[in-house]
């Protein structure tokens, strides 16, 4: 049980850290100043949420690993994030679409997790749900604006849909860790969130004039530590300082 809770926390924390890191890569490169502020702001929220999750995971594991050891001190195979989080950013449309998918999913998950039988996780969720709501709104409006915008922006958004579509079903994958969490009312079974998530996505896609996503094919492996080629490159940058100067502090 403690082992499953530890793994569930690590998965969530890895999703947030890796996606937060990807978003932070936009800092100084966004197409306009407003988005240059927005993306690092969202990244900060995600990394803040990851910190809370890693710290708690470290306490549960009780093996002396703190948030930094968990965030920076593991090898690629030990990270259990969803593959969609580690993919390269692509263009602005692809970045916003991914962020919308993720925020919409996390909003549903955090809403349920606020009532978790685990009070610490419930507290983290109560804080994160407000942030996810803001992210979902911001990114959803961009999906609409680009999808139903100019010919160029519509093409970009359609291309982004095609790139990300095979990574969506992994959100809803069920395994023994997920079942253990839902059985004990610690975290919801992601499969139970699928219909609500799809409804939310379809509402935004309807306004954006985009066809609903097809979830029948899925790349999987993130939850087992099997990653895409992008992951090693990401970790090389993310872990550089701690690998060069172990246990360094600012």
Partner 1 sequence: MVDLQARQAWAAAAAVLDPEVPAVTVADLGILRSVEIDVNGRAIARVTPTYSGCPAVLAIELAIEVALIKAGFDPVIERVITPAWTTDWITEQGREKLRAYGIAPPVMGSSSKRALFGDVVVACPRCAGQNTSKLSEFGSTACKAHYRCNTCLEPFDYFKCI
C-alpha 32/C-alpha 123 separation (Å) is 35
Our CB check for partner 1 shows the closer of 138 and 223 to be 138
Binding mask 108-137 for partner 1 (x = CB under 8 A): -----------x--xxx-xxx-xx-xx--x
Residues in the chain, total: 250
CB of 39 to partner 1, least distance (A): 8
Q: Which of 123, 125, 104, 118 is nearest to 200 (CA)?
A: 104
| 176-214 CB burial, b ≥16 within 10 A, e <16 | ebbebbbeeebbbebeebbeebbebbeebbeebebeebe
CB of 248 to partner 1, least distance (A): 17
Burial class (CB in 10 A: 0-12, 13-18, 19+), 3: exposed
Question: How many chain residues bind partner 1 (CB under 8 A)?
Answer: 29
Binding mask 62-91 for partner 1 (x = CB under 8 A): ------------------------------
Q: Which of 93, 73, 78, 104 is nearest to 162 (CA)?
A: 93
Scanning 38-46, 79-87, 170-178, 214-222 for contacts with partner 1 by CB under 8 A, the matching segment is 38-46
Scanning 3-11, 41-49, 208-216, 219-227 for contacts with partner 1 by CB under 8 A, the matching segment is 41-49
Our CB check for partner 1 shows the closer of 43 and 57 to be 43
C-alpha 221/C-alpha 224 separation (Å) is 5
For residue 159, state whether it binds partner 1 (rule: CB under 8 A).
no
Our CB check for partner 1 shows the closer of 44 and 218 to be 44
Residues 129 and 114: beta-carbon distance below 8 Å: yes
Judged by CB under 8 A, the residue of 7, 12, 23, 52 near partner 1 is 52
For residue 202, state whether it binds partner 1 (rule: CB under 8 A).
no
Judged by CB under 8 A, the residue of 51, 98, 156, 223 near partner 1 is 51
DSSP 19: H
Judged by CB under 8 A, the residue of 2, 28, 34, 64 near partner 1 is 34
| 11-23 CB burial, b ≥16 within 10 A, e <16 | bbbbbbbbbbbbb
Binding site for partner 1 (CB under 8 A): 33-34, 37-38, 41-49, 51-52, 119, 122-124, 126-128, 130-131, 133-134, 137-138, 141
């Amino acid at each position: 049980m403690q082992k499953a809770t530890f793994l569930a926390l690590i998965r969530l924390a890895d999703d947030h850290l890796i996606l937060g890191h990807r978003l932070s890569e936009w800092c100084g490169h966004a197409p306009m100043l407003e988005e240059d502020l927005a993306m690092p702001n969202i990244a900060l929220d995600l990394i803040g949420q990851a910190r809370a999750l890693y710290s708690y995971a470290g306490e549960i594991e009780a093996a002396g690993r703190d948030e930094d050891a968990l965030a920076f001190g593991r090898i690629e195979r030990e990270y259990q994030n969803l593959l969609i989080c580690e993919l390269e950013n692509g263009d602005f449309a692809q970045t916003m679409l991914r962020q919308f998918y993720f925020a919409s999913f996390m909003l549903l998950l955090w809403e349920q997790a606020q009532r978790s039988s685990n009070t610490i996780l419930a507290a983290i969720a109560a804080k994160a749900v407000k942030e996810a709501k803001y992210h979902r709104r911001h990114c959803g409006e961009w999906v609409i604006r680009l999808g139903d915008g100019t010919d160029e922006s519509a093409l970009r958004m359609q291309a982004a849909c095609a790139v990300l579509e095979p990574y969506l079903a992994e959100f809803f994958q069920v395994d023994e860790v997920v079942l253990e969490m839902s059985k004990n009312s610690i975290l919801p079974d992601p499969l139970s969130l699928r219909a609500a998530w799809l409804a939310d996505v379809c509402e935004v896609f309807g306004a954006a004039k985009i066809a609903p996503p097809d979830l029948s094919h899925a790349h999987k492996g993130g939850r087992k530590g099997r990653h895409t080629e992008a992951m090693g490159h990401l970790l090389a940058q993310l872990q550089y300082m701690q690998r060069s100067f172990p246990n360094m502090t600012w």
